[in-house]
Structure formats: C-alpha cells, structure tokens
A and B are shown apart, each in its own frame.
Chain A
Amino acid sequence: MKINNLIRKSADIRLSILDTLQSVGKGHIGGAFSCVEILVALYYSGVLKYTVLNPKWKQRDRFILSKGHAAVALYTILADLRFFDPIELEGFNDCGLLGEHPDMYIPGVEVNSGSLGHGLGIGAGIAYAAKLDGNDFNTYVLLGDGECYEGSIWEAAMFAAHHKLTNLTAIVDRNYLCIHGNTEEINKLDPLIEKFHSFGWSCDVIDGHDFDQLITALNYITVKPKVIIANTIKGKGVSFMENIAGWHHGGISKEVYKKAREELLNDRYA
C-alpha cells in the first residue's frame, strides 16, 4: 500500500475505533490513537507476513500487542483485514468476542495481554525458538512507554541481546503519557534510547506517525535485536484529546463523539 493510502487507512481506522468506543461509551482511546500508524505500517505496508485465511500459519511473523489496552486499535485492523467478521466490533465489551484487552482466542491475536511487561519476554522466547528451529519469521512486540517501567522488560531486553535475537523487534509507543501525567515527571524514562543501547540493542528514534520513517525503521536489518522508539501523540487525530493524560481511558459521550468524528472526517478528506 502506498503512503497516501496508508495515511487514509489510518484515518479510517481511527474513525472505526471511535465508532466502536462510542457504542460502549468509554475506552482506552488515547493509547489506541497513538499507535494507529505503527499498526497500519506493520499490517498494510508489507512488513508483517501473515495469511488471513490461516492465522496460525507456521511461518507467519508474530505480532504481540504487549500494551494490551490498545486492543481496540488492533481489533479494528484485524476486522478490516477480515481475520474475523467486522460485526464483532459492534459487540466490543458487550458480551461478544472482543474485550478491552486481547486474548489468543481471537483470530489474529498471538497472546493474552492486558498486564504490562509480559510481551517482550514472550516475544524473546518465540524469537529464540525460531532461531533454534531455523525458522526465518520475525517477532514484533509493541510496548507502551509507561510499560518500560516494568523490570521484566529489562530482563527480557538483556536476554534478547545476549542471544543476538535479530529476529526480534520492539516498538515503543513513546507518547510520554501515563495515566497520571508525563513519564518524565512521574519517574524519568529518558534517555530511553541510551538504556536500550546499553542493553545491547540496535536503537532508532522516529516520528511514530510518519510512514516513511516507520517503514524504513521496521525494514532496517541489524545484527542485534532492534528497538524503535516511536515518538507519538497520545490521542492523535482529535485536538482536544491530544497530549492529555486523562484520555488514556475516557468517556465517549454523544457530544465528544460528534466533535471527534468531525475532526477525524476533516482529516480523512483533507
């Protein structure tokens, strides 16, 4: 898919996420919107190898949404690709297949997540097994930046570097916001890149909403495990949600929905 189409796809995904969350009146909209371009780059630009008809295809690339609270963004993409019927989105958090955090019983979802700090270790285990078996698929793990407070992330980072897991890529959705404020005011994460670098990873810092940068970074081949620090904007696409920590999980009233939709539509047809 060409860049312009990826941009339009991102706008469509955001509109669909908003529709889904509006139907239940609330949800993790801020962190879902911040990672839309990352997910679109993975699923629509040819980075991830997958087959919709056989989600468990052995040679597929693995994608782990370690920041499970952004599940609605992943669901929207999996539905759009027809891993499951898009009608399932209408039952989001409402007695259907899809809950606030993803589980592996949903077609296209690799692992259960929702508790932070688990995905990188699981991804490292998958990448290690792939090397052991001579499989050439890659494993991608999307982390929240606040998730990088978890010590388990650094246990996994050390392990991956030691075993030279070049088939493992971590992407940090660096929107700088946790639930209660800026990461640099809560407990400094920066210099995050230097931390990963010192753990033996190949590091890149990019604009996480720029497809040229995303695709280049995702396709970059290294001799170490790779982390992409993707600088993003929490709530990206809706002016009154952008960079506001409170929109980590917010209420989507009819009024909020109407204003947000208007902005997203303007963006879509700009």
Chain B
Amino acid sequence: MTDMRDAFFASLYDVIKENKNVLLVTADHGAFGVDKIRNDFPKQYLNVGIAEQNLISVAAGLALSGKIVYVYGIINFIILRCLEQINVDIASMNLHINIVGVGAGFTYCTDGFTHHGTQDIAIMSTIPNFKIYNCSDAVNTAAFAKLGFIESGPKYFRIEKGVVPDLYPAHFLPDEGVAQLCKGNNMCIISSGMMVHRALKISNTLLEKEDRLIGVLDVYRLKPFPTKLFITLIRNYKELFILEDNVANGGLADKVCSALIDGGIYIPTTKWNAGDQFCFKYSTDREWVEQQMMGGCLI
C-alpha cells in the first residue's frame, strides 16, 4: 500500500518528467514527493512563499502563457484564503490549472479547525468551470494526477495523506465519477474521500454482526456530479445514508438530494455529517475526532 499523497506526487513526477510545460507551484507547503520534483526538476517547481493569493494569480499568469499548472497546499489556505483569485483569475478564464489540496476533512486532526477541510466542497461547488475530484485510495489519487495533465480546464483535487487499502484496480480510469464498491440489498451508504473507508467498515461490521448486506458508493467526482450513473446505481435501494466529513451545508448530501430530484425519484435518506459547527476537538486519533463531530453514525 502506498501513502496517498506520495501516490499523487509520484504520478505527477512522471507527468513533469515527460512534459517540460508542466509546473508545480506551492505556497511553501511540502511533501516527500514535492521535494523529489523540486530536486530533479527545479525549473518546473516554484515556491512563491506563504502568499496564497499571489500563488493563484501567478499560476494564472503561467497558464495564460501556455503552462499547465498544479498548485499545491493545505485545503483551507489555498481555497478559503484566495477564493476570489480562484474565481476571477482561474475559473472565469477557464485556465488549465489544477488545485491540489491536502487535508480533506479531519486529516489534520490535531491542528484544529483552521486546518480542517470541511467547507471547501461547498465553496468550490459554486464556482463555474471547476471540476472537483475527491481521492479515496492511492490508485485513484495517482490517476487524478495524470487526469490533471490530460484534461484541460480548472480542476480541484482533494488529496489525503496516509495509507488506506486500495479500492480500485491498477487500470482504474476516473471517467465515471461514482463507483459501487459493495452491492447491498435494501440499504446503501453514499460517501466520498476518506469517509468511504468508514462506510466500508460500517458495511462490513453489519454484515458480520447482523448478516445485513449494505451497499457502499464512492462519489469520487463531486462536480459535475455523475447524476445519470448515480441514479442507476441507487434506484433500487429502499434507504440511503449519506456519510461525509463536511459541514452540514453544501456538501455531498446536497449533491445527492439534488441528483434525486433531477432523477425524479424519492428514497428515504439519512444525512451523516460534521454539522454546522467548527471543531475544537484535538487528538492524534482521527477517528476519535470524527466520532466527536459526527455523533454515533461511525462505528
């Protein structure tokens, strides 16, 4: 198993190695894989210092000059801090820039709310032209790094650090936006990102303890939402549960409910999320923090 962040930058390393036109730009945020790119391809790496607004504007200038740009940083700092730059300098000009945000949900579980990525999906969902991808294992994380090069236009990749079991086969292509990881009988948990692993844990536990087969869906492309395939996958379920480590408003649940309306179907749905609140719980145990914020839905 590979660390997800390493998987992204190892994949990006190959892209950068083959394409001199690709740049990685940071606001002084690092990672093992970032260091490798910086050392081996110094002309394709740029650190603007802790200046996120300028990070985005400079990236826009580079992209206007024909460069394909990956900007990297902690989610809150490269999304919330410089939202207007993202909106005006990248999105409104439809530039080929990939924002790579680390720290989805409670990744930085000891660092407090300033470092928790629980609002970014809602915020970025309002921005035209942007696509939003949420990584759930090392395989799709690596695939997203390549997608950022192949597909033009603005994209936002939420990546994780840490190691989780692979969910997807090595030949995975991120075309469909949603995958059914586990087929259930009557109930299905819809999730995204790291929460998919929590959903699988719930599903496995209920299978072992109560012999109930609970479906699990991973929505790895949050925008545009893969409505058509999603509706096909959930149509026959009797009850849905939406599990996400985002704030109560604007996240996965809103997208699912919107898709249900678009699909013209009604299925009783329960929402599990981190609530309309900031998190002042601190622990090195991420699951403990998640349980504090999300109540009893997590096993």
Contact = CB atoms under 8 A, between A and B. Distances in A.
A121 B84 contact: no
Nearest to A157: B54
Given A104-B93, A159-B54, A129 B84 contact: no
Contacts of A112: 88-89, 92-93
A128 interface: yes
A155 B62 contact: no
A125 B53 contact: no
Interface stretch (B44-52, B106-114, B142-150, B170-178): B44-52
A126 B65 contact: yes
Contacts of B88: 112-115, 118
Given A155-B53, A155-B54, A159-B54, A129 B65 contact: yes
A125 B62 contact: yes
Interface string A146-157: 000001100110
B61 A127 contact: yes
21 contacts: A111-B93, A112-B88, A118-B85, A120-B57, A121-B54, A121-B56, A121-B58, A121-B61, A121-B85, A122-B58, A122-B61, A122-B89, A124-B54, A124-B58, A125-B57, A126-B65, A155-B48, A155-B53, A158-B49, A158-B54, A159-B54
B53 A121 contact: yes
Given A155-B51, A158-B49, A125 B92 contact: no
A157 to B, nearest CB: 9
B14 to A, nearest CB: 21
B89 A118 contact: yes
A125 B49 contact: no
Given A115-B88, A122-B89, A125-B57, A159 B51 contact: yes
A110 interface: yes
Contact of A152 (B53, B61, B64, B66): B53
Nearest to A119: B57
B43 A115 contact: no
A110 B64 contact: yes
Interface in A122-166: 122-130, 132-133, 151-152, 155-156, 158-159
Interface in B41-93: 43, 46, 48-49, 51, 53-54, 56-67, 84-85, 88-89, 92-93
Contacts of B84: 115, 118
Contacts of A124: 54, 57-58, 61
B60 A129 contact: no
Given A158-B49, A159-B49, A125 B64 contact: yes
Nearest to B61: A125
Nearest to A168: B61
A123 B93 contact: no
